[in-house]
A and B are shown apart, each in its own frame.
Chain A
Amino acid sequence: MSDEYVTLSTKLAMPYRYVAGVIGSKFFTELRDNKKILARRCPECKRVIMPPREYCPKCFSVKTDEWVELSGEGSIESFTIIRYTEPKIQPVEPPYAVGVIKLDGTDGGLTHIIGDVDLDKIEVGMRVKAVFSDERRGNILDIGYFKPI
């Protein structure tokens, strides 16, 4: 901005506590304590919902009623390499890769980091597996990244 005009530089730092609910709590607890990745099955259409939710977004009628343990493997449907720096939101230093990862045994998947890989070698369709973080805190970064297999 031009120097001849006054601007006020400040921050709106607002704390939040996002609730995971019954379903999310189970998902993150299993991730943290047992390195298990769980999804939810819809009793109506049998769809396996990932990220897990209490309701099926397709049927919209009944509660999901079954946990399904995943292998942690899947394939890259799409990916990008983030080359710009925004430390406030980025968990690792760019450049780093994130992908839409379709998880085996589900009708969804996760958007997550693709790591332990030569960034130039990542391809659509590549098979990947979840690598768990050593220190797990019950959040999505308990999966450190997905690594090509």
Chain B
Amino acid sequence: MKKVAIVGVGQTKQEASKPHQSFAEMLYEAVKAALNDANMWFDDIGNVVSASSDFWDGRTISNMAIQDVTGTTYKKTESKVASDGTYATVYGMMRTLSEYYDTTLVAAHCKGSEGNTRIITNAIFDPLYQRAIGLDAISGAALQARRYMTKYGITEEQMAKVSVKNHGNARNNPYAQLPMDLKIDDVLNSRMISDPLKLYDCSPISDGAAAVILASEDKAKEITDNPVWIRGAGYSIDAFYLTDRDLAECDSLRAAASMAYRMAGITDPGRQIDVAEVYDSFSYQELMWTEGLGFCKPGEGGKLIDSGRTQMDGDLPVNPSGGVISAHTVTTAGLVRVVEAALQVRGEADKRQVPDVNTAVAHGTSGYCGQGNCVIVLGREK
């Protein structure tokens, strides 16, 4: 099969709020950065795939209001993925593979500051059976965290280590919202939000945008000497009702990873992948996702963080950017993972660069408790 490459990336700083920009103006900043990165102009873009959420944007058909900043007005094809930006990347890859377009701009934005994340995420749950008890993204995740701790003996200290590591890594990332120098006790002693999740186990509410430009194999070679190849992609989804799942397991991530690895020819992810950017909305999730991505066995995410392998100086750094726990732009955070993973492969991640990256993984989730997962394997070689 022909391959698709990432030839340009852009992102805004992720912040608690951006009152100086409307969400479209914020997205323009990311799109322009990606075009500049690829040394391209709007006219060079074949089509656009966007990712955003009507509820977070507070309007019906949210992508209708971004056409003037994605360069599509009057002349281009655009369609939206109402889900995480990793899915938009895979969709963009497919459009490019169709050979109808040789370039695709993938653009995602979210202004968490403008809505109410608790009310919006409560509305993810089934209105008849679940919503009325007041569940939202945080309390849903808390149920998953406790189940994970119960089944596998994961400790609050191991969860806290993720928060310390990622907020610490965020200090090297000028685009992250919450660079912090935390100690494990700071996390353990932070305010209880929804047991067992404490303040520093939880990601913040964020504003930000990201953009990626994809190109066909032939076009990519014209555009850049440094293409980042999409070697594999996969996605999968689990059951909707929490009571239909074992919340300690991330079966859909295992399936998504398996699909992506098969396409990429990866048989031993823990050794063949040099760096991973994963969607850690909550501290415990990074531990679970490292299991789902096959970096360790099921239930051994706690041991993996204890081993130090996922630290910046380990052999498999996870979330050098600071991860989603340091900035959580919903529907956009997965595309930020793609941007960060691409920068790692290019060797252009500045202070957060991991040495000698050949292969990187970007991971996105959608739905509560990681119901849906998307995995993208990026590489220096095809």
A contact residues vs B (CB 8 Å cutoff): 1-2, 4-5, 7, 12, 16, 18, 20, 24, 28, 50-51, 57, 77-84, 86, 88-92, 96, 98-102, 108-113, 124, 139-141
Contacts and interface: CB of A to CB of B under 8 A. Distances in A.
B135 A18 contact: no
Interface of B: 17, 19-20, 58, 113, 116, 118-119, 122, 126-136, 138-139, 142-144, 146-147, 150, 192-197, 239, 241-244, 247
Contacts of A113: 133
Given A12-B58, A78-B247, 12 more contacts: A5-B20, A51-B241, A82-B142, A82-B194, A83-B195, A86-B116, A86-B136, A89-B134, A91-B133, A100-B242, A112-B133, A140-B129
> Which of B58, B142, B196 gathers the greatest number of chain A CB atoms within 10 Å?
B142
A81 B139 CA distance: 8
A84 B193 contact: yes
A20 B195 contact: no
A18 to B, nearest CB: 4
B142 A80 contact: yes
A82 B139 contact: yes
Nearest to B115: A12
B208 to A, nearest CB: 16
Nearest to A10: B58
B128 A139 contact: yes
Nearest to A110: B243
A4 B58 CA distance: 22
Given A57-B239, A80-B139, A91 B147 contact: no
A98 B119 contact: no
Contact of A1 (B58, B113, B130, B150): B113
Contact of A111 (B113, B195, B242): B242
Contacts of A112: 133
A23 to B, nearest CB: 11
A121 to B, nearest CB: 13
Contact of B133 (A50, A88, A140): A140
A1 B111 CA distance: 12
A99 B195 CA distance: 11
Contacts of A111: 129-130, 133, 135, 143, 242-243
A86 B118 contact: yes
Contacts of B194: 80-84
Nearest to A103: B243
A50 B241 CA distance: 9
B193 A83 contact: yes
Contact of A86 (B20, B134, B142): B134
A147 to B, nearest CB: 15
A86 B143 CA distance: 18
A48 B116 CA distance: 37
A9 to B, nearest CB: 10
Contacts of B119: 86, 88-89
B17 to A, nearest CB: 5
Nearest to A51: B129
A6 to B, nearest CB: 9
B204 to A, nearest CB: 14
Shortest beta-carbon contacts, A-B, top 4: A80-B142, A90-B134, A5-B19, A78-B147
Contacts of A88: 116, 118-119
Most buried by A among B129, B150, B193: B129
B243 A18 contact: no
Contact of B192 (A4, A83, A99, A140): A83
A11 B85 CA distance: 27
A28 B132 CA distance: 14
A110 B129 contact: yes
A82 B192 CA distance: 9
B243 A108 contact: yes
Given A5-B19, A12-B58, A89-B118, A79 B134 contact: no
Nearest to A19: B128
A129 to B, nearest CB: 17
A1 B143 contact: no
B142 A91 contact: no
Contact of B143 (A79, A90, A139): A79
A20 B239 CA distance: 19
Contacts of B244: 57, 108
Nearest to B126: A51
A5 B207 CA distance: 16
Nearest to A124: B150
Contacts of A89: 118-119, 122, 131, 134, 136
A80 B192 CA distance: 11
A31 B57 CA distance: 37
Nearest to B123: A89
A78 B197 CA distance: 13
Given A78-B144, A78-B147, A108 B133 contact: no
A140 B243 CA distance: 15
Contacts of A80: 139, 142-143, 146, 194-197
